[in-house]
Amino acid sequence: MAEFKDTQETLAESPPLLPKPEPDPAREFNEQANAYRLKLDALDRRVASGELTAEGRNRKVADWLAAGDLRYTLAYLQSREDSLTESPNKRAFEEHLQELVQKGESFGLLLLDLDGLKELNSEFGHLGANMILQQYAARILRVIRQAPTEVPGGIQRSKQDEQTDYFSRIGGDEFAILLEGVSTDDELQSIAERVRESISSEDFITTDKQNRLTFTSVTTTIGGGRFQGDLTADALMRQVDRRLMSQKNVEKNKVNING
């Protein structure tokens, strides 16, 4: 009898069981989206190893998107965006470049380096350098062709007006622009110069390592080339990258589309 009484007292003294946590739909959604991102990464690794073709990867992605799962759509979009500048990343750029090459129509390619990012990082710190990168991307987006959100007055846009330029961040200090419909070197040179001047024309606002606002000048060096149906995507990238590197070795803050 005493043993039964002791058991009752022990139960009475035990702390109440904690309630089960409420389901968190947002967290579950994001966890599933992250799982989809891992699946996308696995596909890219198979393409890189030669186990799967780029076309095969794109078909699988298209099938997943067609299923209408918002978690997959979110994962797909996030896996193709540079989180700092909110621009398409290298993966998205390579897919778009391949699509343009397969279309076979003329287009221009510009590769850009933000000059001296390592030095900027040393001088202003990580946060200050990130502020510069964000402004760099924003300035370029202001001077390239972008699809408007609406057409004022219901005016019908021409085919040229409908074309947009595809801006991406493809590395730490490396950016790229794909320009559909560019048919001459003079046109490509003009666009590249406009982009270059948008960066060097006025100082950038940033913070120093003590978080004080300050200003600094920034420049960019650009290499360019045109696709005319005679190169693969990789060959075009190598050609334009050689021009960019050659120009950086000679003089920065310049454009090279023929060297």
For 51-69, what is the HEC assignment? CCCHHHHHHHHHHHHHCCC
Give the lowest-confidence range in 61-75, 89-103, 176-190: 61-75
Which of the listed CATH numbers 3.30.70.270, 2.60.40.10, 2.40.440.10, 3.30.70.2190 matches domain 87-146+161-256? Answer: 3.30.70.270
Calculate ∠ Cα 186-189-193, nearest 5°: 140
Residue 221, classed as helix, strand or coil, is strand
Residue 181: how many CB atoms within 10 A of its CB? 16
Phi, psi of 43 (to 5 degrees): -60, -45
77 Cβ contact list (under 8 Å, min separation 6): none
Residue 154 has pLDDT above 50, yes or no: no
pLDDT tens digits along 101-115:
999 999 999 999 999
Of 105, 71, 77, 111, which is closest to residue 91 (Cα–Cα)? 77
H-assigned helices in 113-168? 117-143, 159-162
Residue 244 pLDDT exceeds 60: yes
Q: What percent of the chain has pLDDT over 90?
A: 55
What band does 241 get if pLDDT is binned at 50, 70 and 90? very high
**CA dihedral of 92, 95, 98, 100, whole degrees rounded to 10:** -60
> From CA 222, how far away is CA 253, in angstroms rounded?
8
64 or 223, which is more confident:
223
- pLDDT tens, position by position, 31-51: 777 777 788 888 888 887 888
Read out DSSP for 224-250?
Answer: EEEE-SSS-HHHHHHHHHHHHHHHHHH
Residue 166: strand pairing partners: 178
**Alpha carbons 206 and 187: distance in angstroms, whole number:** 33
- Average model confidence (pLDDT) across the chain: 84
Interior angle at CA 89, CA 29 and CA 220, nearest 5: 145
